């Protein structure tokens, strides 16, 4: 029996002046599942999250959280949503416990109930031992976990995260997804945005793909693979440091046609028509002194499927 829908967007359209940011987007997120909202920069991911959180009012369409709309009952709507922004919204000069106490008071919590929730929530994100430490001493991954704790403090059924792993190293990213998996199993409905296909494929139960404000594909990774199967060799990596631009250009020339190299910050994506070509391309990178802290190849060919969907969306505006 399917779990109940916690978050529902029906025919949501958002306009900024003359530009349409979202066009008739419909999406459900159920309790006990993680849905990844995937798409390139400017596709409408953050706008969708802002609408779902009640921060942004759509031009048309309906957004409900457990059957409640923001227009009918703003307070009941807001208390059922926890939003984790991309940049940690915590205060460096306060301790972890003081930060959560501050946010808890904003939610109307007080007294022993607030103290209990602060303690329990710090334990949920494995920061109990840092409760009395100033956030200025935290690593990026620890700050993001505290950011997550602030959104979980009032135990909302719906959790929204905007590119939560954007500034995290591989170990911190894996730890965050382990946390999200536990929260999903506790019955939360989780919607997160990302533009990393490997992250969505490995960490999400369902994927919704946005392209230029339109929902162009939706389903479990395995369903999307069955719908369109094709061959492509892909490798994802995390660089020890980003190479200088001149070296990056020289490597691209050496790789030649048929091989794609994308570097975003310290993230790397390498793709080729065959696994042999991919191996040769990787050898070229290593020979040029590119150092990888971690790398992996996806189990399936979801990247090719989704890129085909994006191309199709572009052909039919």
> Phi and psi of 65, rounded to 5°?
-120, 115
In the structure, what pLDDT confidence band is assigned to residue 302 with cuts at 50, 70 and 90? low
DSSP state of 134: B
pLDDT at residue 233 is higher than 90: no
Does residue 113 have a pLDDT over 60?
yes
What pTM does this model have?
0.72
Sorted by where each begins, the domain ranges of the chain are 5-226, 231-300
Q: What is the pLDDT of residue 225?
A: 59
What tens digit of pLDDT does each residue of 187-204 get?
999 999 987 777 888 899
Average pLDDT, the chain: 87
- Strands 33-38, 214-219: parallel, antiparallel or unpaired by DSSP? unpaired
Q: What's the Rg (C-alpha) of the chain?
A: 21
CA distances from 314 to 20, 44, 110, 119, 310 (A): 15, 15, 51, 49, 6
Q: What is the CATH number of domain 5-226?
A: 3.40.50.300
pLDDT greater than 50 at residue 308: no
Whether residue 168 contacts residue 176, with contact meaning beta carbons closer than 8 Å, is answered with yes
- Cα–Cα–Cα angle for 52, 198, 300, nearest 5°? 120
Q: For the chain, what's the residue count?
A: 317
Beta bridge partners of residue 268, listed in sequence order:
237, 263
Among the listed ranges 206-210, 259-263, 309-313, which one has the minimum average pLDDT value?
309-313
Identify the CA nearest to 213 among candidates 77, 58, 68.
58
Q: Can you give the pLDDT at residue 1? A: 65
Is the predicted pLDDT of residue 226 greater than 60, yes or no? Answer: no
Q: Give the pLDDT confidence of 65-106 residue by residue, as tens digits.
A: 999 999 998 888 989 999 999 888 999 999 999 999 999 999
Distant-in-sequence, close-in-space partners of 250: CB < 8 Å, separation ≥ 6:
288
47-62 pLDDT, tens digit per residue, is 999 999 999 999 999 9
Q: Which fold has domain 231-300?
A: Alpha-Beta Plaits (3.30.70)
pLDDT of 112 > 80? The answer is yes
- How many other C-beta atoms are found inside a 10 Å radius of the C-beta of residue 180? 21
pLDDT tier, 223 (very low <50, low <70, confident <90, very high otherwise) = confident
Confidence of residue 232 (pLDDT cuts 50, 70, 90): low
Q: Is the pLDDT of residue 215 over 70?
A: yes
Burial (CB count <10 Å: 0-12, 13-18, 19+), residue 305 = buried
Q: What is the mean pLDDT of residues 223-232?
A: 57
Q: What is the pLDDT of residue 87?
A: 84
pLDDT, one tens digit per residue, over 122-166 is 999 999 999 999 999 999 889 999 999 999 999 999 999 999 888
The per-residue pLDDT for range 17-36, each reduced to its tens digit, is 889 999 999 999 999 999 99
């Amino acid at each position: 029996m399917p779990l109940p829908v916690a978050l529902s967007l029906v025919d949501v359209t958002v306009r900024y002046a003359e530009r349409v940011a979202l066009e008739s987007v419909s999406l459900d997120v159920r309790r006990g599942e993680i849905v990844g909202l995937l798409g390139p920069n400017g596709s409408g991911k953050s706008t969708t999250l802002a609408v779902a959180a009640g921060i942004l009012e759509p031009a048309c369409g309906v957004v409900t959280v457990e059957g409640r709309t923001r227009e009918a009952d703003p307070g009941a709507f807001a208390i059922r949503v926890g939003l984790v922004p991309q940049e940690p919204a915590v205060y460096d000069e306060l301790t972890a416990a003081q930060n959560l106490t501050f946010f808890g008071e904003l939610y109307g919590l007080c007294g022993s109930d607030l103290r209990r929730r602060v303690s329990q929530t710090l334990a949920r994100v494995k920061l109990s031992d840092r409760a009395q430490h100033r956030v200025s001493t935290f690593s990026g991954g620890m700050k993001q976990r505290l950011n997550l704790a602030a959104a979980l403090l009032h135990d909302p059924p719906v959790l929204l995260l905007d590119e939560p792993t954007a500034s995290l190293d591989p170990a911190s990213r894996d730890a965050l997804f382990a946390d999200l998996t536990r929260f999903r199993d506790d019955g939360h409905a989780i919607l997160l945005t990302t533009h990393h296909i490997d992250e969505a494929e490995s960490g999400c139960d369902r994927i919704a793909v946005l392209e230029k404000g339109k929902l162009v594909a939706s389903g479990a990774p395995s369903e999307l693979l069955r719908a369109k199967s094709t061959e492509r060799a892909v490798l994802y990596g995390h660089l020890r440091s980003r190479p200088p631009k001149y070296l990056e250009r020289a490597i691209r020339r050496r790789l030649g046609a048929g091989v794609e190299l994308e570097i975003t910050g310290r993230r790397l994506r390498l793709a080729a028509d065959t696994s042999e070509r991919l191996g040769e391309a990787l050898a070229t990178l290593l020979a040029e002194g590119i150092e990888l802290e971690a790398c992996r190849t996806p189990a399936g060919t979801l990247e090719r499927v989704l890129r085909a969907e994006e191309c199709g969306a572009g052909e039919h505006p």
